[in-house]
Amino acid sequence: MTQTTAAPNQITVTTESASAQQAAADAGGNAKGKRRGAKPVVAKQLGGAIRQRNEERILRAAAEVFASAGYKGTSVQAIADKVELPKANILYYFKSKAGLYTAVLNDILEMWNQGFDERAIEREPADVIREYILAKMRYSRTRPQESKIFATEIIHGAPVIRDAIDLPMVGWTKQKASVIQAWVAQGKMRAIEPLYLLFLIWGTTQFYADFDSEIAMIKGRALSDEEFSKAEDFVVETVLRGLALI
Amino acid sequence: MTQTTAAPNQITVTTESASAQQAAADAGGNAKGKRRGAKPVVAKQLGGAIRQRNEERILRAAAEVFASAGYKGTSVQAIADKVELPKANILYYFKSKAGLYTAVLNDILEMWNQGFDERAIEREPADVIREYILAKMRYSRTRPQESKIFATEIIHGAPVIRDAIDLPMVGWTKQKASVIQAWVAQGKMRAIEPLYLLFLIWGTTQFYADFDSEIAMIKGRALSDEEFSKAEDFVVETVLRGLALI
DNA sequence: ATAAAACACGACCAAGTGGTCAGGTTTTTG
DNA sequence: CAAAAACCTGACCACTTGGTCGTGTTTTAT
Residue by residue, DSSP assigns A184-199 as HHTTSS----HHHHHH
Q: Which residues pair with B51 in a beta bridge?
A: none
Residues B118 and B213 in one domain: yes
Q: What pLDDT, in 10s, does the model give residues A182-233?
A: 999 999 999 999 999 999 999 999 999 999 999 999 999 999 999 999 999 9
Q: What is the structure's pLDDT at B160?
A: 84
H or E segment to which residue A178 belongs: helix A162-185
Asked if pLDDT for residue B12 goes beyond 50, the answer is no
Contact B115, B176 (CB under 8 A): yes
Residue ranges making up the domain that contains A32: 12-109
Q: What pLDDT, in 10s, does the model give residues B223-245?
A: 999 999 999 999 999 999 999 99
A111-125: buried (b, 16+ CB within 10 Å) or exposed (e) per residue? bbbbbbeeebbeeeb
Q: By C-alpha distance, which of A223, A79, A145, A202 is closest to B157? A: A145
Q: What pLDDT, in 10s, does the model give residues A98-154?
A: 999 999 998 898 788 778 888 999 999 999 999 999 999 999 999 999 999 999 999
Q: What is the structure's pLDDT at A177?
A: 97
Chosen domain end from A109, A132, A157: A109
Distance to chain B for A153, nearest Cα, Å: 10
Q: Do B200 and A195 touch (CB under 8 A)?
A: no
Asked if pLDDT for residue B216 goes beyond 70, the answer is yes
Residues A176 and A224 in one domain: yes
Per-residue flag: A93 CB under 7 A of strand D: no
- Per the structure, the count of domains in chain B is 2
Which residues lie closer than 8 Å to A72 by C-beta, 6 or more apart?
A: B69, B70, B72, B73
Q: What is the structure's pLDDT at A47?
A: 60
Which residues lie closer than 8 Å to A214 by C-beta, 6 or more apart?
A: B154, B158, B169
Residues B130 and B67 in one domain: no
Q: What is the structure's pLDDT at A46?
A: 55
> In a 10 Å sphere around its CB, with 0-12 CB exposed, 13-18 middle and 19+ buried, how is residue A43 labelled?
exposed
Q: What pLDDT, in 10s, does the model give residues B47-94?
A: 688 999 999 999 999 999 999 999 999 999 999 999 999 999 999 999
Q: What is the structure's pLDDT at A34?
A: 32
Asked, for residue B5, whether it belongs to a domain, the answer is no
- Best of A133, A160, A196, A227 to mutate (most B CBs within 10 Å, chain B): A196
- Give B 56-85 residues with CB within 8 A of chain A: 68-73
Q: What is the structure's pLDDT at B145?
A: 97
Q: What is the structure's pLDDT at B70?
A: 97
Q: What pLDDT, in 10s, does the model give residues B150-174?
A: 999 999 999 988 888 888 899 999 9
Asked, for residue B18, whether it belongs to a domain, the answer is yes
Asked if pLDDT for residue B22 goes beyond 60, the answer is no
Asked, for residue B2, whether it belongs to a domain, the answer is no
What are the chain A neighbours of B193 within 8 Å (beta carbons)?
A: 230-231, 234
Asked, for residue B121, whether it belongs to a domain, the answer is yes
Q: By C-alpha distance, which of B6, B1, B23 is closest to B108? A: B1
Q: Note the strand C nucleotides within 7 A of protein beta carbons.
A: 4-11, 16-22, 27-29
B193 touches chain A (CB under 8 A): yes
Q: What is the structure's pLDDT at A49?
A: 86
Q: By C-alpha distance, which of A42, A64, A179, A198 is closest to A121? A: A179
Q: What pLDDT, in 10s, does the model give residues A1-44?
A: 333 222 222 222 222 222 333 343 344 333 333 333 223 333 33
Q: Is A28 helix (H, G, I), strand (E, B) or coil?
A: strand
Contact A177, A196 (CB under 8 A): no
Q: Do A206 and B208 touch (CB under 8 A)?
A: no
Asked, for residue A86, whether it belongs to a domain, the answer is yes
Asked, for residue B144, whether it belongs to a domain, the answer is yes
Residues B177 and B215 in one domain: yes
Asked, for residue A2, whether it belongs to a domain, the answer is no
B206 touches chain A (CB under 8 A): yes
Contact B153, B3 (CB under 8 A): no
How far apart CA A117 and CA A123 sit, in angstroms, is 10
* pLDDT band at residue A168 under the 50/70/90 scheme: confident
Q: Note the strand D nucleotides within 7 A of protein beta carbons.
A: 4-11, 16-22, 27-29
Higher per-residue confidence, A37 vs A70 = A70
Other C-beta atoms closer than 10 Å to the C-beta of A150 total 24
- Best of A97, A202, A218 to mutate (most B CBs within 10 Å, chain B): A218
Residues B131 and B40 in one domain: no
Asked if pLDDT for residue B37 goes beyond 90, the answer is no
Q: What pLDDT, in 10s, does the model give residues B87-127?
A: 999 999 999 999 999 999 988 987 887 788 889 999 999 99
**Nearest-Cα residue of chain B relative to residue A214:** B154
Higher per-residue confidence, B132 vs A29 = B132
Percent of chain B with pLDDT over 70: 81
Residues B132 and B229 in one domain: yes
Q: At B41, phi and psi to the nearest 5?
A: 45, -135
How far apart CA B50 and CA B241 sit, in angstroms, is 53
Residues A123 and A226 in one domain: yes
How far apart CA B24 and CA A125 sit, in angstroms, is 53
Residues A45 and A131 in one domain: no
How far apart CA B219 and CA A174 sit, in angstroms, is 10
Contact B165, B216 (CB under 8 A): no
Chosen domain end from B54, B81, B109: B109
DSSP H helices, chain B, are 12-13, 19-27, 49-69, 76-83, 87-93, 97-112, 125-142, 144-155, 162-185, 194-210, 212-219, 225-242
Chosen domain end from B109, B129, B160: B109
How far apart CA A26 and CA A77 sit, in angstroms, is 21
Q: What is the structure's pLDDT at B47?
A: 61
Contact A203, B203 (CB under 8 A): yes
Q: How many Å does it take to go from CA A149 to C1' D13?
A: 35
Residues A212 and A168 in one domain: yes
Q: Do B213 and A154 touch (CB under 8 A)?
A: yes
Q: Give the sign of the dihedral formed by CA A56, CA A59, CA A64, CA A65.
A: positive
Q: What is the structure's pLDDT at A18?
A: 29
Residues B104 and B143 in one domain: no
Q: What is the structure's pLDDT at B101?
A: 97
Q: How many Å does it take to go from CA A137 to C1' D15?
A: 43
Q: What is the structure's pLDDT at A154?
A: 97
One-letter amino acid identity for A59? L
CATH number of the domain bearing residue A178 = 1.10.357.10
Give the range among B33-42, B175-184, B215-224 with minimum mean pLDDT.
B33-42
B181 touches chain A (CB under 8 A): no
Q: How many Å does it take to go from CA A206 to C1' D14?
A: 42
Residues A121 and A76 in one domain: no
What are the chain B neighbours of A197 within 8 Å (beta carbons)?
A: 234, 238
Among the partner-chain residues A148, A165, A199, the one whose CB lies closest to the CB of B204 is A199
Question: Which nucleotide across the nucleic acid strands is nearest to A91, CA versus C1'?
Answer: D19
Q: What is the structure's pLDDT at A15?
A: 29
Asked if pLDDT for residue B35 goes beyond 60, the answer is no
Asked, for residue A6, whether it belongs to a domain, the answer is no
How far apart CA B168 and CA A191 sit, in angstroms, is 40
Q: What is the structure's pLDDT at A163?
A: 84
Q: What is the four-CA torsion angle of B101, B104, B105, B110, rounded to 10 degrees?
A: 160
Q: What is the structure's pLDDT at A155?
A: 98
CATH number of the domain bearing residue B82 = 1.10.10.60
* pLDDT band at residue A96 under the 50/70/90 scheme: very high
Residues B23 and B91 in one domain: yes
How far apart CA B36 and CA B69 sit, in angstroms, is 39
